[in-house]
Chain A
């Protein structure tokens, strides 16, 4: 059987622009320096958002993936860029969260008056663009080695964001994060080497055609998966996440928790559903989901025990990542409505968690800024001082709990019904228990925040209304996702059929 030859589709050049604008922007930001770095990012935000929407519109209209063959050299000799519905949906999410973070971070990472340049703001704005470019590269890559490079760019942009303030504890958190990530990338590269040795290509489309169920493919798949699990912080490889995400400045925590861990998750999805769809055995999928279930329980229980608000939110990320992995046994195996639902549910969970968690980290940042600390025991009555922020935090929390009408509710409901339809009731129990535990740790924060009446000494510092508005907007997006008709999520299915998976 002749192998498919990749050709560029109309509009494929958009994918190149999606990679070029953040890379060029980061270079300009560094070259111009000082205050200009911030201006470059603010100017590029609408460009990036527009490109992501344009790519999604093209994918949706053509009902097929956008492809760009770099330099006209078709794989296996050349490298292709490819955006299917999954890529397009995640690119829009990335753009929305990064734009919100940029607007939110203006007050925190302003170059101080009277100084030509300050280290932390310059690094933050350049790294934010680097992160955006790396995420886009992860989403449009169609070659396992290209994806390796994209993943490393993502890590190298994310790690310094953790320790922007240069305190010893954040430096240690960043170093621990980097060590986990380096081990993950070494294992990923080893797996990619084995795949190249066995099949002579790393192009995803060609590989999906050539991969057979044999020890080389199993070993490579396992190595790549374990490497990516370390980067996506799935239990038990989550140890680096809470100190890193809780220690980072609030805008950095928001992008790290909302987007960076999802990058590695998307690659695991690519590997098992696109590269080796036939090889995801039920046992392997059950193991991934069991780790996810353990993450939900452990993350939530540890979140319940935290004394600091940002640590609680970080442990909640550990738990919410667990939900993502429940989609593997539910979406694999049985082709049909259950599989479709689980696929949409898993990705909707990624998207709604991204918006909700970014909002919650920013809200926690505002609360910490107003009070000068983020001890949960000292939050009594904060809702009176910062009503909008606490309201946004609560809205984000509803999405995490999975209460209607939030995006998290639709995601968890889709996963739940897929679990019941496929007869895997044990995952349904995990989803319900996880929702209850999430409710418990959120009430630990919201009850004192809404009811406590102690007078603050010193009184809370005022926070900018515009920053509260950004937080509220993100929280509202995570809510409104649940009100969209389900058909509008058809986008995330586009491009799956031509990868050998019949929906």
Chain B
């Protein structure tokens, strides 16, 4: 098995695990961790693509590497924003869950 196949399968496994975790866990923090696992798999896939597309004598195609750096920044920013929101929510309600959030004032029903 070549190294690109091996790492490609690794990337697929990470994506699969992340997606599974994201779908089955209701807690926001676990969803966030699963999201990070999922994008790690995507970044690894970019690495595999860089290796596969490398010209003769080069270690890797630089474009996917540049994309991964931007992708990491974006995923980091998204995670930071989510953690920030989650912390505020925890301070307000004392819980880190999206269930049983108080309904807005003036709301006659549960929505």
Nearest Cβ in chain B — how far from A126, in angstroms? 15
Residue from A155, A167, A179, A377 whose CB has the most chain B CB atoms within 10 Å: A179
Q: Report if B17 contacts A (CB, 8 A).
A: no
Interface residues as binary, A181-221 with B (CB distance below 8 Å gives 1, 0 otherwise):
11101100110011011001000000000000000000000
The smallest beta-carbon distance between A75 and chain B, in angstroms, is 11
Question: In the complex, how many angstroms separate the beta carbon of B26 from the nearest chain A beta carbon?
Answer: 11
- A166 — which chain B residues lie within 8 A by C-beta? 88, 92
Pair A149/B74 contact, Cβ less than 8 Å: yes
Shortest Cβ distance from residue B108 to the other chain A in the assembled complex, whole angstroms: 5
Query: Which residues in B have their C-beta under 8 angstroms from that of A200?
Result: 53
Question: In the complex, what distance in Å separates the CA atom of A307 from the CA atom of B45?
Answer: 48
Q: Tell me which residues from 51 to 85 in chain B have a Cβ below 8 Å from any Cβ of chain A.
A: 52-53, 63-64, 67, 70-71, 74-75, 77-79, 81-82, 85
- Docked complex Cα distance between A179 and B98 (Å): 11
Q: Which residues of B contact A155 (CB under 8 A)?
A: 78
A190 to B68, CA, bound (A): 11
Once the chains bind, are B101 and A186 in contact (CB under 8 Å)? Answer: no
Q: How far does the alpha carbon of A294 sit from the alpha carbon of B106 in the complex, in Å?
A: 30
> How many B residues touch A, CB cutoff 8 Å?
45
Q: Which of B14-68 contact A (CB under 8 A)?
A: 15, 18, 22, 28, 31-32, 35, 38-39, 41-42, 45-46, 48-49, 52-53, 63-64, 67
A190 x B15 contact (CB < 8 A): yes
CB <8 Å contact, A176 and B98: yes
Closest chain B CB from A177 CB (angstroms): 10
- Mostly helix, strand, loop or mixed at chain A's interface? helix
Residue among B15, B31, B111 with most chain A CB within 10 A: B111
A178 within 8 A of B: yes
Least Cβ–Cβ distance between B55 and chain A, in angstroms: 12
Docked-complex contact B108 and A375, CB < 8 angstroms: yes
For B52, give its contact among A148, A159, A160, A197 (CB under 8 Å).
A197
Please judge, given known A-B contacts A145-B70, A168-B101, A186-B39, whether A156 and B85 are in contact too, CB under 8 Å: no
Q: List chain A residues, Cβ under 8 A from B85.
A: 159, 163, 171, 174-175, 178
Interface contact B81-A159, CB-CB below 8 Å: yes
Q: Is there a chain B Cβ closer than 8 Å to A106's Cβ? A: no
Q: In the complex, what's the smallest C-beta–C-beta distance from B74 to chain A, in angstroms? A: 5
Q: How far is the CA of A196 from the CA of B15 in the complex (A)?
A: 17
Name the one of A174, A178, A185, A373 contacting B106, with C-beta atoms under 8 angstroms: A373
A243 at the interface (CB under 8 A from B): yes
Residues on B with C-beta less than 8 A from A145 are: 67, 70
Query: Closest residue of chain B to A201, judged by CB?
Result: B63
Q: How far is the CB of A165 from chain B (nearest CB, A)?
A: 10
Q: Is A169 an interface residue (CB 8 A)?
A: yes
A193 touches B82 (CB 8 A): no
Known contacts being A179-B31, A182-B35, is A247 close to B104, with CB within 8 Å?
yes
Q: Does B93 contact A (CB under 8 A)?
A: yes
Q: Mark A368-400, 1 if CB is under 8 A from B, else 0.
A: 000011110100000000000000000000000
Q: Determine if A311 is an interface residue (Cβ-Cβ < 8 Å).
A: yes
Is B89's beta carbon under 8 Å from chain A? yes
Instruction: Determine whether the beta carbon of A156 is less than 8 Å from that of B108.
Output: no
One of A156, A194, A196, A308 near B77 (C-beta < 8 A): A156
Given known pairs A156-B78, A159-B81, the reply for A179 and B28 (CB within 8 Å) is yes
CB atoms of A182 and B82 under 8 A apart: yes
8 Å CB contact of A152 from B28, B46, B67, B78: B78
> Is there an interface contact between A171 and B88, defined as CB atoms closer than 8 Å?
yes
Contact call B32/A179, Cβ cutoff below 8 A: yes
The yes or no answer to A279 lying at the interface (CB within 8 A) is: no
Q: Is A172 part of the contact surface with B, judged by Cβ < 8 Å?
A: yes
Determine the distance from Cα of A247 to Cα of B107 in the docked complex, in whole angstroms: 11
Of the residues B22, B39, B52, B89, contact of A189 by C-beta under 8 Å: B39
Q: What is the chain B residue whose CB lies nearest that of A371?
A: B106
Q: Is A242 an interface residue (CB 8 A)?
A: yes
| Across-interface contacts of A160 in B (CB, < 8 A) | 81
Known: A182-B35, A182-B78. A171 touches B92 (CB 8 A): yes
| Closest Cβ–Cβ distance, residue B79 to chain A (whole Å) | 8
Q: Is the CB of A307 within 8 A of B109?
A: yes
Determine whether B103 belongs to the interface, using a CB cutoff of 8 Å to chain A.
Answer: yes
CA distance A156 to B108 in the complex (A): 31
Contact in complex: B107, A189 (CB < 8 Å): no
Contact A190 B45 (CB under 8 A): yes
Q: Roughly how many angstroms separate A67 CA and B22 CA in the complex, as a whole number?
A: 39
Please determine whether B53 and A197 come into contact, CB atoms closer than 8 angstroms: yes
Closest to B104 in A: A169
User: Which residue of chain B is the closest to A160 with respect to CB atoms?
Assistant: B81
The answer to whether B82 touches A179 (Cβ under 8 A) is yes
Interchain nearest-CB distance for A419 vs B (Å): 33
State in angstroms the CA–CA spacing of A145 and B65 once bound together.
13
Q: List 5 A-B contacts (CB under 8 A).
A: A171-B92, A172-B101, A176-B98, A306-B111, A377-B108
B-side residues, CB < 8 A to A, are: 15, 18, 22, 28, 31-32, 35, 38-39, 41-42, 45-46, 48-49, 52-53, 63-64, 67, 70-71, 74-75, 77-79, 81-82, 85-86, 88-89, 92-93, 98, 101-104, 106-109, 111
Known pairs A159-B81, A189-B39, A197-B53. 8 more at Cβ < 8 A? A163-B85, A167-B104, A171-B89, A171-B92, A179-B32, A186-B18, A190-B45, A308-B109
